[in-house]
Amino acid sequence: MSNNTNYEAPDPEDMFAETRMSFGDHIEELRWHLIQAIKGLVIGMVISIWPLGPYVLAIIVDPVEDQLFAFEKRKLKADLEKAKARNPGIPRPEVTDEIEFNRDEIRAKLGLPPLQNAEDPVLDKMVHGFEKTLEELEVRYLLEKDVRRRGNFINLKVYFPNTERLVAQIQEQTLEVSRPRLKTMHITEAFFVYFKISLMTGLVLSSPWVFYQIWAFIAAGLYPHERRLVNVYLPFSLFLFLSGVILCQFFVMPRAVAAMLWFNEWLGMDADLRLNEWLGFALMMPIVFGLSFQTPLVMMFAHKIGVLSVKMYRDHRRIAWFVMAIFAAVITPTVDPWTMLFLWFPMGALYELGILLCVYQGDSWTTTEWEQEEKSNELVEV
């Protein structure tokens, strides 16, 4: 019986003893994680097609359709003002009908004794009923009323509607029924837009699972301090990105659309927007804001590796704000100043936050620390 003299005990300082494998095993491990990520993406897409798809489409489309509706209302009001200036309104017609009720006669018919004072609950109730009826008539038929109390009498006057008011209310009601909507120019455009939205929504829903699978494969080859950095910076980066997207979608986007439609209103042009073109704009803007909100993370990374210091950030604050203003003006797809300001001011605030985070982060890696890490890496490799 012979002893195996080739056996080597595992090195207790080897950080990759449990994860070291052959090239073929690495490929197989990568293939398994990719398959799991694709499965999660498919499940996310199925959920996005139904029931989440219509809700996501409404979130994307509602800002522009609401602003289109407001644009059409302003345009209608301006057209009515122009028509009124060209054609002065006709005078109010004479009273169509006038009814007078005697309080004592009404009380006598109801079998009630006459009252000596001016207050009469029966009369007040009757007046209230007439006023309520006239309010309903005014809504239905746009009648104008005049109800007056005079001692024992009730005077009720009903007028024909004012022509200008009648036309304005009819047009507003028509606009409410037929709200302006985004249009499709091809028979398949709506289908492909909905599929694209479902794909992106599915990617967002499954992104935590997809990133987890990618991270599970990459983390096996990272040092402990590198894994700690990723565990700290990745959630912070995701939070900043989502903050930028939410700010853009629910606060900036409606105002950006309103600013762009203002040019149509100023030039006297109608707005006829397409669904596919709006989708590209609506998807690019939140991504631009989300990526721009990574400013503190970039500052912390540059400070950590020793490229920039806190003193440099503070000394060149004015230049940084000016550069961010140029960046906001160039990167935003609209030409109005409001969208640029909505991106510039948050980036400036995040720049100041980045300075505070760099101070909290502490000193950057020095040359000695880099040399110590390189030596420890060489020892691990040996």
**Which band of pLDDT confidence, cut at 50, 70 and 90, is reported for residue 142?**
very low
- Dist CA 218 CA 212 (whole Å): 10
Helix axes 317-331, 337-361, angle to 10 degrees: 140
307-365 pLDDT tens trace? 888 999 999 999 999 999 999 888 876 677 878 888 899 999 999 999 998 888 776 65
- Dist CA 101 CA 149 (whole Å): 10
pLDDT(181) > 80: yes
Mean pLDDT of the chain: 76
pLDDT of residue 367: 43
Mean pLDDT for the stretch of residues 151-156: 60
- Dist CA 155 CA 93 (whole Å): 18
Q: Is 101 exposed, middle or buried (0-12, 13-18, 19+ CB in 10 A)?
A: middle
Instruction: Give the type of residue at 311.
Output: K
Q: Are 10 and 17 contacting, i.e. CB atoms less than 8 angstroms apart?
A: yes
Q: Are 335 and 256 contacting, i.e. CB atoms less than 8 angstroms apart?
A: no
223-257 pLDDT tens trace? 777 777 778 788 888 889 889 888 888 888 888 88
276-294 pLDDT tens trace? 888 888 888 888 888 889 9
pLDDT(14) > 60: no
Which segment of 13-27, 207-221, 306-320, 366-380 scores lowest on mean pLDDT? 366-380
Instruction: Give the type of residue at 196.
Output: K
Q: Are 118 and 173 contacting, i.e. CB atoms less than 8 angstroms apart?
A: no
pLDDT of residue 171: 67
188-218 pLDDT tens trace? 999 999 998 888 888 888 988 988 888 888 8
pLDDT of residue 1: 46
Q: Are 185 and 118 contacting, i.e. CB atoms less than 8 angstroms apart?
A: no
pLDDT(126) > 90: no
Edge to edge, the sheet with strand 97-102 lists 97-102, 153-159, 144-150
Residues 6+ apart with CB under 8 A from 159: 92, 93, 95, 96, 143, 144, 145, 146
For CA atoms 336, 341, 347, 351, the dihedral sign is positive
Q: Name which residue leads in pLDDT, 141 or 71.
A: 71
Instruction: Give the type of residue at 187.
Output: I
pLDDT of residue 253: 87
Q: Is 99 helix (H, G, I), strand (E, B) or coil?
A: strand
pLDDT of residue 312: 92
Taking residue 17's Cβ as centre, other Cβ atoms within 10 Å add up to: 10
pTM summary value: 0.64
